[in-house]
Structure 1
Amino acid sequence: MSELNALFRQRIGLSEDETITFASLNHLLEQTATIIPFENLRIIEGKTNDITKDSLMNKILVNKEGGLCYELNSILYFFLVDNGFNVVLTRGVVYNHDAQVYSAAGRTHVTILLTHEDQTYLIDTGFGGNLPLKPVPLSGEPVSSANGQSRIRKTSTEHGDYVFEQKLKYKHTDWKTGYAFDSGMPVTDVSEMNEIQKIIAHDPKSSFNKNPLVTRLTNEGNMTLTDTSFTRWSHGIVTKESIDRARFKELLKEHFGM
């Protein structure tokens, strides 16, 4: 067993002798989403490193930090490869619901496409609190999880040939566009993530270089920490606490282990 395989299992609480099958991916994705946070703290602090397999392993599995989509889905990609899955990384463009347009930052979202028994599925553990928690078939059938419903719609746009859509539990009554992606443009090397990281860290159009953000799913809903507030969703009920810097550090350690 590779070091990455063993460390990933330790991080999310899977035994080394457990065989990862397609049927067990739901549990794997749930464990990953509730343990490894989506966060941009190194971006905010200006302490990013070049993206490599080793640097991702050190950051997420050894130091027990979280990361953004290009980090979280890349480390999951390496884990899935180690466990015999047929997977590729691909890039997408996130839809900005406030402006009703796709993000001007471009193809900065990274997700995973997995092929199993001649069917292709989207897997994503790097979309903040908007995770499907299950493989989502590109054939269009919706899937349901504790986080709501997800589906893939085939379409033809300048941003790709498919769109990921969701109806989040307790939050959406209609399908909402998450992002568009191109199934025919796989990432050929993880070094491509450095281009994405540079855009996210420095481009004024990036939404992740303004303020700290830390979020992860829980068994009851999700929790989100910023420099000014701590918000918790529990069974559809939301509570929000205004915080200062000292409280931010306390909550970061208490709820996110960082």
Structure 2
Amino acid sequence: MQKLTSLFHKRIGMPNNETITFEKLAEVLEKTAQNIPFENLSIIENKTRKITKENLMSRIVERNEGGLCYELNPLFYFYLIENGFNAVLTDGVVYNQAAEEYLQIGRTHVTVLLYHDEQTYLIDTGFGGNLPLKPVPLSGETISSYNGEFRIKKVNHEYGDYCLEMKLKHKDSDWKNGYVFDSQKPIDDAANLNAIQTIITEHPKSPFNKHPLVTRLTHNGNITLTDTSFTQWADGVVSKENIDNVKFKKLAKLHFGL
């Protein structure tokens, strides 16, 4: 068992000696979503480090922290490669639902493309509460998980050739855009990931450099913590509590291990 796989399995509660097949990926993705939070605390606390395999392992599977898409998905990419899968990283542009437009800060969403049995699949462990929890085929077929329905639409867009569409369980009645990505332009240099981290950390329009955000999926919904509130979705029922900084630290430790 190689080091990353061993540490990753320990982190998500997977048996250490488990052989990871394509069919097993849905279980791995669920456990990842429930155990590794999507969070920006290193940015808020000014503790970002260069994006390397070693630094990602140190942060996420040794110190048991979380991360954003450019940390979580590259780590999962390294995990896939270590387990014999054929995968690449690519980037895309997230759709801002509130503003009804794509984010103005460029190609800052990092995701994974997996090639298996002559099909290409999207895999994402770094999209907050919007995770498909299964590989999503670029063929357009809809996949369903306990988090909702997801599909990939072929598009002719300035930002890419495919769009992830989603219909989150208990939240969406219609399909909505997630992000556009380019299947023909893999990320082949860690410098690209560090450039994305710089934009997310420094750009005035970045959604992640102003207030702390921590979220993860649970077995029946998700939980989200900010500096002012703690929100829980459970079986379609939402509860929201206003909090202060002292309560933030307690809840970050209790629910996210941070």
Match of 1:181 in 2: 181
Unaligned runs of 5+ residues in structure 1 are none
Query: Shift of residue 192 of structure 1?
Result: 1.7
Query: Shift of residue 15 of structure 1?
Result: 1.6
Aligned-pair identity in percent equals 62
Match of 1:74 in 2: 74
Query: Shift of residue 191 of structure 1?
Result: 3.1
Match of 1:128 in 2: 128
Which is further off, 232-241 or 96-105?
Answer: 96-105
Unaligned runs of 5+ residues in structure 2 are none
Q: Distance in 1 between matches of 2:27 and 2:137?
A: 17
Q: Distance in 2 between matches of 1:76 and 1:65?
A: 14
Mapping 1:166-205, distance limit 5 Å: 166-205=166-205
Give 3-state SS (helix, strand or coil) of 1:18's partner.
Answer: coil
Query: Shift of residue 129 of structure 1?
Result: 0.3
Tell me the C-alpha RMSD between the 2 structures. Answer: 0.6
The reply on whether 1:5 has 2:44 as its aligned counterpart is no
Give the TM-score of the pair, scaled to structure 1.
0.99
**Conservation of the 8 A alpha-carbon contact between 1:148 and 1:167:** yes
**Conservation of the 8 A alpha-carbon contact between 1:216 and 1:224:** yes
Match of 2:104 in 1: 104
Query: Shift of residue 16 of structure 1?
Result: 2.1
Q: Distance in 2 between matches of 1:233 and 1:59?
A: 27
**Conservation of the 8 A alpha-carbon contact between 1:220 and 1:235:** yes
Match of 1:159 in 2: 159
Deviation digits for residues 152-173 of structure 1 (CA, Å, limit 9, x no counterpart): 0001100000000000000000
**Conservation of the 8 A alpha-carbon contact between 1:149 and 1:169:** yes
Query: Shift of residue 149 of structure 1?
Result: 0.1
Number of matched pairs: 258
Deviation digits for residues 84-142 of structure 1 (CA, Å, limit 9, x no counterpart): 00000000000011111110011000000001000000000100000000000000000
Structure 1 segments of 4 or more deviating over 2 A? none
Match of 1:119 in 2: 119
Give 3-state SS (helix, strand or coil) of 1:20's partner.
Answer: coil
Give 3-state SS (helix, strand or coil) of 2:74's partner.
Answer: helix
Match of 1:60 in 2: 60
**Conservation of the 8 A alpha-carbon contact between 1:74 and 1:190:** no
